[in-house]
């Protein structure tokens, strides 16, 4: 049965403040009678760049089918490195749960999504919702007791193994010119956010599963183009196998001939429309 189309309201709200600096969430709220599914959106940009507006083409499409979206800004280098952004994102999930009823949703209907490095952070947040480092920022006094567990996790071309991608970029560069410009872009940004290779390994969803750590495994959707050179296919394949082996339900949507960021960079492409439809279907199937 086709989903109802909703008019939406869009506004920016302050969800967290560090000192004198507010962090904003862009809210996409469908009009109508809920309760609607809700998603936190985590933007990409190699952990250092971009903002809450990056995934708007996806967020608007979702909201029009009856999904509340809160797209977050969060701390990035040079202001703060790992795990500061994870603390902001974890707080954002709990903040959305605390306000879910006023936004037309419910606290038990919250998932998370993200693109590229945001896809990595979304999956990491979903796997470790109660990590004391990530859950270190308390909700205001009088708030309900909530954790950051989520109903689902959606990854758009995630950096699912930061250390593996770091080594991949190093290898590209070591091979000499001409090499893909992605190597020169991401290497310094990995360094700014992670600081050490040890941290990259510790915060790698793929390596967390390889180490056998006990984590949450909510239903997950993984979207990537087959021509994506920024997010190695080997890491995708290994993560899909490991996540399913750990007991998680994971659906994979591979878009033939598409490169990194294709939905955002080529929103009018048929593959982008198909991927957005898959995202919409997944959310409404798993968050209800």
Give per-residue pLDDT as tens, 27-85.
999 999 899 999 999 999 999 999 999 999 999 999 999 999 999 999 999 999 999 99
Largest distance between two CA atoms of the chain: 58
Mean pLDDT over each residue of the chain, to the nearest integer: 97
| Per-residue model confidence (pLDDT) at position 1 | 58
Give residue 241's pLDDT band: very low, low, confident or very high (50, 70, 90).
very high
Give residue 4's pLDDT band: very low, low, confident or very high (50, 70, 90).
confident
* pTM score, whole prediction: 0.97
Ramachandran class of 25: left when φ > 0, alpha when ψ lies in -120 to 50, beta otherwise: beta
The residue among 118, 98, 102, 93 whose CA lies nearest residue 39 is 93
In angstroms and rounded to an integer, the radius of gyration of the C-alpha atoms of the chain is: 18
* Average confidence (pLDDT) over 203-216: 98
Q: What is the Cβ-side half-sphere exposure of residue 170, based on CA atoms within 13 angstroms?
A: 9
CA gap 129, 238 in Å, rounded = 23
On the question of pLDDT at 193 being above 90, the answer is yes
* pLDDT per residue as tens digits for the range 124-150: 999 999 999 999 999 999 999 999 999
Give residue 3's pLDDT band: very low, low, confident or very high (50, 70, 90).
confident
Phi, psi of 260 (to 5 degrees): -60, 140
On the question of pLDDT at 20 being above 70, the answer is yes
CA gap 20, 53 in Å, rounded = 22
Instruction: Indicate the pairing of strand 153-156 with strand 220-225.
Output: parallel
**Residue 13, preceding peptide bond in cis (omega within 30° of 0):** no
Q: Domains in the chain, ordered, with CATH?
A: 8-286 (3.40.50.1820)
| Per-residue model confidence (pLDDT) at position 219 | 98
């Amino acid at each position: 049965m086709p989903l109802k189309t909703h008019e939406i309201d869009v506004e920016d709200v302050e969800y967290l403040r560090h000192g004198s600096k507010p962090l904003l969430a862009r809210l996409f709220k469908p009009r109508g009678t809920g309760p609607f599914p809700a998603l936190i959106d985590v933007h990409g940009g190699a952990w250092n760049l971009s903002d809450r507006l990056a995934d708007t083409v996806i967020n608007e499409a979702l909201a029009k089918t009856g999904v509340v979206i809160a797209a977050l800004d969060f701390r990035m280098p040079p202001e703060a490195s790992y795990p500061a952004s994870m603390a902001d994102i974890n707080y954002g999930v709990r903040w959305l749960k605390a306000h879910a009823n006023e936004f037309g949703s419910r606290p038990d209907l919250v998932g998370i999504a993200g693109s590229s490095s945001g896809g990595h952070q979304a999956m990491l947040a979903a796997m470790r919702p109660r990590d004391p480092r990530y859950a270190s920022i308390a909700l205001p006094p009088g708030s309900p007791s909530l954790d950051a567990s989520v109903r689902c996790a959606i990854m758009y071309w995630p950096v699912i193994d930061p250390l593996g991608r770091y080594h991949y970029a190093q290898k590209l560069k070591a091979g000499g010119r001409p090499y893909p410009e992605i190597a020169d872009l991401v290497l310094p940004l990995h360094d700014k956010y992670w600081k050490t290779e040890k941290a990259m390994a510790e915060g790698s969803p793929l390596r967390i599963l390889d180490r056998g750590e006990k984590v949450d495994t909510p239903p997950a959707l993984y979207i990537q183009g087959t021509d994506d050179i920024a997010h190695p296919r080997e890491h995708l394949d290994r993560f899909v196998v490991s996540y399913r082996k750990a007991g998680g339900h994971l659906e994979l949507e591979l878009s033939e001939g598409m490169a990194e960021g294709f939905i955002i960079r080529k929103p009018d492409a048929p593959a982008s429309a198909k991927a957005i439809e898959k995202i919409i279907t997944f959310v409404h199937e798993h968050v209800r």
